[in-house]
């Protein structure tokens, strides 16, 4: 919060928070229904997370609450633990605790290194899941819990489409998709759609499914207790929620920064989000994260400090305390139409517009994550995506690394004459292995391919002057090569760049005993001179 807080600032925060709360109302109800926990759970989560994240987070203008991706994962917990309320909300509790740990360990700056194709495929997959899951209530059929189930049952549902539900859903989508920006700045399109759809049902007594009763008053306490046998499943889902919620929140923080020209505190934001999700779990609320649309609405409506987020949460409390009976009358096709818009908004249009021009490897990662997200499992999708991206990166780096085996080669122009004369005089008694680029697990295979070319040589110089780093696989590959050279009575000399730390690492790992006291050099010319001396001694 700013040091000088004026009435003008409060006015902006008030209207920003009020507008964000109005936008959050239909979304929280819709997410609650879509998750299977009920509309009230959506409101509980929006209030608890919105309040604590606003008070304790690191992005003053961010508005937090249930989001599409978090709702989808939460819905999988409901399916995994049917009827076990404590286990379901234990997932949310542990996810919040993990986010706090992320913040304390300063992981906030690391989350952004998840490759963009993984994020793109995952978010687009979540958008498609939301769309597929809302097709059934939009057509007047009972909701389903899985995208594949939605597709499989869709022909039967289409054959018995409820025209009232479809018509009401279409009116809702027309409003949320095509309301002019001038109008949405005054009345947000989700709220407008909610009011219009509900009035139509009330005035013309349209026979469509409704939300149903919403409990009045504040929620009761839920303890996150579960049997030890469920621990692996609970931990797995909690980690998925924590990682996704962290990514979602920090991406929203970046959006807020770009609009307000400020800089958020990533690690503090993770702590605030974690505490908010813990609070939500204790009162039976949906998990959530920083919500991009609600945050932008807040900023555009005048919100500049965390007071706006607090006002947003207090508005939802007022709804819980007095407006629940009215929310119970909201038609499900209207919520389905609103969520359709949410699903389409989550799709990564930025990448889809240039999908034909992006590198094929990145497209393959994005497509794999997208398909696995929609048809297999959200957690598996993230793991596979990160793994594929890592393999692709390893492949690209390894292609840039070169390992050459030849007669003594030049490292600097001034060495040419010396090396040429040595090559002629020694008849390849001195050979060099030149490694250019990173020497890690992705390039060690090239080293093994060239060892056979060194048989018959007297001295081998392993030139690592152009190696920026070596990982453990690289050190082990060097050790294996040195051992084989020793077995063939070939003298190995390794040359590292002075000050790189690789020479000290080799000594610390005990390789000096394999190479000898003079086997690790930092000057290429000294290594050449030493090789010549060894060759002369061998001839004697």
pLDDT tens by residue, 384-394? 888 888 888 77
| 127 shares a domain with 63 | yes
433 confidence band (pLDDT: 50, 70, 90): confident
Contact 197, 333 (CB under 8 A): yes
Per-residue model confidence (pLDDT) at position 112: 62
User: Considering 336, 368, 392, which residue would you say is the last residue of a domain?
Assistant: 392
| C-alpha to C-alpha distances, 486 to 90, 109, 457, nearest whole angstrom | 59, 46, 12
State the CATH number of the domain containing residue 516. Answer: 3.30.750.24
| 231 shares a domain with 186 | yes
SS (H, E, C) 221-269: CCCCCCCHHHHHHHHHHHHHHHHHHHHHHHHHHHHHHHHHCCCCCHHHH
274 confidence band (pLDDT: 50, 70, 90): very high
| 435 shares a domain with 343 | no
Degrees, nearest 5: CA angle 108-114-119: 110
User: Considering 339, 359, 392, which residue would you say is the last residue of a domain?
Assistant: 392
Paired tokens of 241: 């929620």
| 468 shares a domain with 346 | no
Exposure on the CB side of residue 465, measured as CA atoms within 13 A: 17
| 162 shares a domain with 47 | yes
- What is the sign, positive or negative, of the torsion defined by CA atoms of 424, 425, 428, 430? negative
Contact 365, 121 (CB under 8 A): yes
| 425 shares a domain with 358 | no
- From the list 144, 537, 126, 141, the residue with the least C-alpha distance to 333 is 141
Element of type H or E holding 71: helix 68-80
Residues 189-204 have a mean pLDDT of 88
Residues 149-167 have a mean pLDDT of 91
Residue 214 has pLDDT above 80, yes or no: no
User: Is 2 inside any structural domain?
Assistant: no
The residue among 302 and 202 whose pLDDT is bigger is 202
Residues 136-157 have a mean pLDDT of 88
Q: Rounded to an integer, what distance in angstroms lies between the CA atom of residue 187 and that of residue 192?
A: 6
Helices (H) and strands (E) in the chain, counts: 25, 7
- Total domains in the chain come to 2
Q: Which residue has the tokens 């998709």?
A: 177
| 416 shares a domain with 370 | no
Q: Rounded to an integer, what distance in angstroms lies between the CA atom of residue 488 and that of residue 396?
A: 34
Q: Report how far apart the first and last C-alpha atoms of the chain are (Å, whole number).
A: 82
Contact 287, 240 (CB under 8 A): no
Q: Rounded to an integer, what distance in angstroms lies between the CA atom of residue 321 and that of residue 215?
A: 9
User: Considering 392, 422, 452, which residue would you say is the last residue of a domain?
Assistant: 392
Contact 98, 239 (CB under 8 A): yes
Q: Which residue has the tokens 């040429």?
A: 420
| 408 shares a domain with 382 | no
Residues 227-239 have a mean pLDDT of 90
Per-residue model confidence (pLDDT) at position 267: 93
User: Is 126 inside any structural domain?
Assistant: yes
* Residues 303-347: tens digit of each pLDDT: 889 999 999 999 898 888 877 777 778 888 988 888 888 788 878
Q: Which residue has the tokens 């993770």?
A: 270
- Determine phi and psi for 404, rounding to 5 degrees: -115, 140
Residue 177 has pLDDT above 80, yes or no: yes
- Domain holding 153, by residue range, is 7-392
User: Is 150 inside any structural domain?
Assistant: yes
Strands 289-290, 64-65: pairing is: antiparallel
Per-residue model confidence (pLDDT) at position 258: 72
| 371 shares a domain with 422 | no
* Residues 32-79: tens digit of each pLDDT: 888 888 888 899 999 999 999 999 999 999 999 998 888 888 988 898
Mean pLDDT of the chain: 83
Per-residue model confidence (pLDDT) at position 414: 43
When mean pLDDT is compared across 353-357, 371-375, 534-538, the lowest value belongs to 534-538
Per-residue model confidence (pLDDT) at position 408: 46
| C-alpha to C-alpha distances, 318 to 55, 291, 323, nearest whole angstrom | 19, 21, 7
Per-residue model confidence (pLDDT) at position 165: 93
Q: Which residue has the tokens 């509309």?
A: 39
| 252 shares a domain with 203 | yes
Burial of 449 (0-12, 13-18, 19+ CB in 10 A): exposed
Percent of the chain past pLDDT 70, that is, above it, reads 88
When mean pLDDT is compared across 112-116, 286-290, 306-310, the lowest value belongs to 112-116
Q: Where are the alpha helices (DSSP H) in 105-208?
A: 108-111, 116-138, 147-159, 163-178, 181-184, 189-204
Residue 217 has pLDDT above 80, yes or no: no
Per-residue model confidence (pLDDT) at position 484: 85
- From the list 535, 495, 488, 484, the residue with the least C-alpha distance to 518 is 495
User: Is 107 inside any structural domain?
Assistant: yes
User: Is 1 inside any structural domain?
Assistant: no
Provide the β-strand partners of residue 520.
494
Q: Which residue has the tokens 């690209």?
A: 396
Contact 273, 99 (CB under 8 A): yes
Contact 76, 223 (CB under 8 A): no
How many C-beta atoms lie closer than 10 Å to residue 322's C-beta?
Answer: 11
Burial of 328 (0-12, 13-18, 19+ CB in 10 A): middle
User: Is 397 inside any structural domain?
Assistant: no
User: Is 149 inside any structural domain?
Assistant: yes
When mean pLDDT is compared across 5-9, 178-182, 489-493, the lowest value belongs to 5-9
| 324 shares a domain with 204 | yes
Q: Rounded to an integer, what distance in angstroms lies between the CA atom of residue 324 and that of residue 321?
A: 7
In order, the DSSP letters of 492-518 are: EEEEE-TTSSHHHHHHHTTTHHHH-TT
Most confidently modeled of 2-11, 414-423, 471-480, 529-538? 471-480
The residue among 223 and 111 whose pLDDT is bigger is 223
Q: Which residue has the tokens 């959506």?
A: 42
Most confidently modeled of 155-159, 402-406, 505-509? 155-159
* Residues 394-428: tens digit of each pLDDT: 777 766 666 665 544 444 444 445 555 555 666 66
Q: Which residue has the tokens 């038609």?
A: 331
User: Is 97 inside any structural domain?
Assistant: yes
| 432 shares a domain with 297 | no
Paired tokens of 23: 């936008």
Q: How many residues are given for the chain? A: 540
Q: Rounded to an integer, what distance in angstroms lies between the CA atom of residue 432 and that of residue 457?
A: 10
- pTM, full prediction: 0.69
Residue 88 has pLDDT above 70, yes or no: yes
């Amino acid at each position: 919060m700013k040091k000088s807080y004026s009435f003008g600032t409060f006015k902006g925060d008030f209207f920003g928070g009020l507008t964000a709360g109005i936008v959050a109302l239909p979304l929280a109800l819709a997410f609650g229904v879509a998750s299977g926990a009920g509309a009230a759970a959506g409101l509980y989560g929006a209030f608890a997370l919105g309040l604590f994240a606003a008070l304790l987070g690191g992005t003053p203008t961010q508005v937090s609450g249930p989001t599409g991706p978090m709702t989808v994962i939460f819905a999988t917990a409901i399916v995994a633990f049917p009827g076990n309320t404590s286990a379901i909300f234990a997932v949310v509790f542990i996810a919040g605790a993990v986010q706090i740990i992320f913040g304390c360990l300063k992981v906030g700056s690391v989350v952004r290194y998840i490759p963009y194709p993984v994020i793109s495929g995952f978010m687009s997959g979540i958008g498609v899941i939301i769309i597929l899951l809302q097709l059934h209530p939009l057509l007047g059929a009972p909701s389903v819990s899985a995208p594949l189930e939605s597709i499989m049952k869709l022909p039967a549902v289409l054959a018995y489409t409820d025209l009232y539900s479809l018509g009401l859903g279409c009116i809702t989508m027309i409003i949320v998709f095509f309301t002019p920006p001038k109008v949405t700045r005054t009345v947000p399109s989700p709220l407008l759609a909610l009011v219009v759809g509900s009035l139509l049902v009330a005035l013309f007594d349209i026979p469509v499914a409704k939300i149903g009763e919403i409990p009045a008053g504040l929620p009761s306490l839920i303890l996150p207790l579960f049997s030890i046998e469920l621990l692996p499943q609970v931990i797995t889902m909690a980690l998925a929620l924590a990682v996704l919620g962290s990514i979602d929140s920090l991406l929203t923080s970046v959006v807020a920064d770009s609009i307000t020209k400020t800089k958020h505190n990533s690690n503090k934001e993770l702590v605030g989000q974690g505490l908010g999700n813990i609070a939500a779990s204790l009162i039976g609320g949906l998990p959530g994260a920083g919500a991009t649309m609600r945050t932008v609405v807040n900023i555009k409506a005048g919100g500049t400090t965390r007071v706006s987020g607090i006002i947003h949460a207090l508005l939802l409390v007022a709804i819980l305390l007095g407006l629940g009976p009215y929310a119970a009358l909201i038609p499900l096709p209207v919520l389905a139409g609103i969520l359709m818009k949410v699903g389409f908004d989550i799709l990564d249009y930025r990448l889809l517009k240039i999908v034909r021009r992006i590198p094929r490897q990145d497209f393959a990662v994005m497509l794999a994550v997208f398909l696995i997200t929609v048809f297999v499992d959200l957690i598996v999708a993230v793991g596979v995506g990160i793994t594929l991206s890592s393999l692709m990166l390893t492949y690209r780096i390894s292609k840039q690394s070169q390992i050459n085996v030849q007669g003594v080669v030049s490292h600097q122009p001034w060495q040419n004459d010396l090396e040429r004369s040595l090559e002629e005089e020694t008849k390849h008694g001195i050979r060099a292995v030149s490694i250019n680029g990173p020497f890690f697990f992705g390039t060690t295979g090239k080293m093994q391919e060239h060892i056979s070319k060194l048989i018959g040589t007297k001295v081998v110089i392993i030139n690592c002057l152009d190696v920026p780093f070596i990982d453990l696989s690289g050190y082990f590959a060097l050790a294996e090569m040195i051992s084989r050279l020793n077995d063939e009575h070939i003298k190995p000399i390794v040359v590292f760049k002075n000050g790189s730390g690789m020479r000290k690492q080799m000594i610390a790992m005990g390789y000096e005993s394999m190479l000898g006291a003079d086997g690790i050099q930092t000057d290429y010319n000294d290594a050449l001179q030493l090789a010549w001396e060894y060759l002369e001694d061998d001839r004697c």
